Structures are given as structure tokens and as C-alpha cells.
Amino acid sequence: MAELPHYFVRASVNLAWLARAEQSTGNRQTRNIQALVLTPTRELAIQVCDEARKLSQSSFLFEEFLVREKEAGRLKLSLKPLAQPKALVHGHCHQKAFDVFRPVQTVLGWIPQLDVSVVESSCWGMAGRFGYEAEHYEASKAMAELSLLPAVRRAQDAVIVADGTSCRHQIADGADTKALHVAQVLASALKD
């Protein structure tokens, strides 16, 4: 597998740490940090404080960051077709709720000859640990069986893409299929 370029940075930002760093050092540069967020923390950060709100305006989900960089001319990927010519994508509830699912489709669309389709689904019942709790397990399974899991089972010849960790677990447990994060799919498509 090809080595990931420097812009495939894995980063998480601890807002409390940044606030403490600024207070203890007097370093105002923390206000200019841009964060690449792989988990849905941006909207939570907005509720914390003014500093967090300012930081949230410069934080992006992985695919948002890539689209932004490509549109600015700073991202040039050399991609090859995948062994599987189709991708079935499940949008994380957070991505759908905050209208940041389109960048996922955009990024996957950069892969040559990849036919991308989206699972039309609403909540699939996991919500972090909710679906694993004994009192919610059956409801979680029933919700996943409404559209997500049947679509995954029908897509035998497609790479299954799901950014959410819980999404990938639900797919693995309910359809015995491994789903990949978009970063993994892009890494597979990078030319050697």
C-alpha cells in the first residue's frame, strides 16, 4: 500500500488543552490553528466558549478538508481505479444532519471509474454505544434492517464506505461485511 501524503494528517484537537496552552503561555497563535477533525466535534465545540467557537470555524471533517484543499489548488492526488468498480456509501447521521455528506461523495468521485451510490437510510440504530446496550439491542437491529443492512448485503461487488466508527461496527455485526473509512479507500486508490 502506498504511503499516505502529508495532507492525510490524522489530527484531533482537544479544545480544553488549547485553551490552557494559550492561558499558560500567553501564546495567541492558537487562534490561527486550523484543525482536521475526523470525528464530529465541530458543532459541540461551538457550544463551549468563544475561543472554541473561533477554532470551530477553522475545523473540518476529513472530506471537507480535502475538498477545500483541492479547490484551493493545494491538493493533487494521483489516483488509480480500485479493484472493485463500485462503492456503496453510508452517510453518518452527523454528516447528514450538518450537511457535510456531499464532500464524502465528492472525494470518492475523484477515484477513476468508481461508481458511487448512496444508501438511502435514516438512523440505523447504533448512536455510539446505544445499539449495544441490552435494552436497545433489538431496536437497533430492527432499525438497521430497514435499509442499511439489506443494501449492504445486496452490494456484494462493492466496497462499503462508512466514516462513522459505530456505523462500521453495525455493518460488520449485522451484515458480516467490513466497511472502510474514506481515508482507507483513498489510500487504496493512490498510485504507487
The pLDDT value given to residue 109: 97
Considering only the top CATH level, what class is 86-189?
alpha beta
d(CA 192, CA 170): 32
pTM: 0.72
Alpha-carbon distances, residue 190 vs 18, 128, 153 (angstroms): 34, 31, 27
Ranges of the chain whose pLDDT falls below 50: 1-20, 29-40, 45
Domain with CATH 3.40.50 in the chain: 86-189
Q: CA-CA distance, 28 to 97, in Å (whole number)?
A: 33
Return the pLDDT at 17: 43
Give residue 123's pLDDT. Answer: 67
Distances from the Cα of 138 to the Cα of 142, 170, 190, angstroms:
6, 13, 40
Q: Using an 8 Å Cβ cutoff, are 61 and 51 in contact?
A: no
**Closest residue by Cα to residue 128 from 138, 119, 136:** 136
Tell me the pLDDT tens digit for each residue of 90-142. Answer: 988 777 777 778 999 999 999 999 999 999 877 666 666 777 778 888 888 88
Residue type, 110: W
Reduced to 3 states (helix: H, G, I; strand: E, B; else coil), residue 37 is: strand
Nearest partner of 144 among 169, 113, 108, judged by Cα: 169
pLDDT attached to residue 112: 98
